[in-house]
Amino acid sequence: SGQGRLCPAEDILDAVDQGLGPVDSKLKGRRVLITCGPTREWIDPVLFISNPSSGKMGFALAQEAMARGAEVTIVRGPTDLRPPWGAQVVPVETTREMLDAVLAAYDGCDVLIGAAAPVDFTPAAPAQQKIKKFGGSASLELVGTPDILTSVSSLKGSRIHVGFAAESENLEANAQAKLAAKALDLICANDITAPGSGFGADTNEIAMYSRDGLTRHVDMTGKREVAIEILDEVETLLSTEAVSPQG
Ligand code: C5P
Decide if pLDDT at 86 tops 90. yes
- Measured in Å, residue 10 CA sits from the centre of ligand 1 at 30
Choose one of 39, 53, 56, 147 to mutate for the ligand 1 pocket test, by most ligand atoms within 8 angstroms of C-beta. Answer: 147
Smallest Cα–Cα separation from 92: which of 146, 133, 135? 146
Q: What is the per-residue pLDDT for 245?
A: 61
Q: pLDDT grade, residue 240 (50/70/90)? A: confident
- Measured in Å, residue 8 CA sits from the centre of ligand 1 at 33
Q: What is the CB < 6 Å shell around ligand 1? A: 35, 95, 114, 116, 118, 120, 145, 147-149, 163-165, 178
Q: What is the mean pLDDT of the chain?
A: 93
Percent of the chain with pLDDT over 70: 97
Decide if pLDDT at 62 tops 60. yes
User: Does the annotation mark 51 as catalytic?
Assistant: yes
- For the stretch 196-220, pLDDT in tens is 777 778 899 999 999 988 889 999 9
Q: How far apart are CA 95 and CA 93, in angstroms?
A: 7
Reported in sequence order, the residue ranges of the chain that DSSP labels E, i.e. its strands, are: 31-36, 41-42, 48-49, 71-76, 88-91, 111-114, 121-123, 142-144, 160-167, 186-191, 203-210, 213-222
- Measured in Å, residue 187 CA sits from the centre of ligand 1 at 11
Taken as a whole, the chain contains a residue count of 247
Amino acid at position 70, single letter = A
- For the stretch 91-123, pLDDT in tens is 999 999 999 999 999 999 999 999 999 999 999
Decide if pLDDT at 192 tops 90. no
> How many CB atoms are located within 10 Å of the residue 210 CB?
19
For residue 44, give every residue at least 6 positions away whose Cβ sits within 8 Å of its Cβ, in sequence order, or none: 126, 127, 128, 129, 130, 131
Contact between residue 213 and residue 220 where contact means Cβ atoms under 8 Å apart: no
Query: Of the residues 51, 174, 190, 204, which is catalytic?
Result: 51
Choose one of 56, 96, 106, 164 to mutate for the ligand 1 pocket test, by most ligand atoms within 8 angstroms of C-beta. Answer: 164
Q: What is the per-residue pLDDT for 2?
A: 76
- Measured in Å, residue 164 CA sits from the centre of ligand 1 at 7
pTM of the model: 0.94
Phi-psi region of 4 (alpha: psi -120 to 50; beta: other; left: phi over 0): left
- Tell me the average pLDDT across 181-204: 88
162: enclosing H helix or E strand: strand 160-167
Q: What is the per-residue pLDDT for 1?
A: 66
The Cα diameter of the chain in Å comes to 64
Amino acid at position 45, single letter = P
> How many CB atoms are located within 10 Å of the residue 21 CB?
17
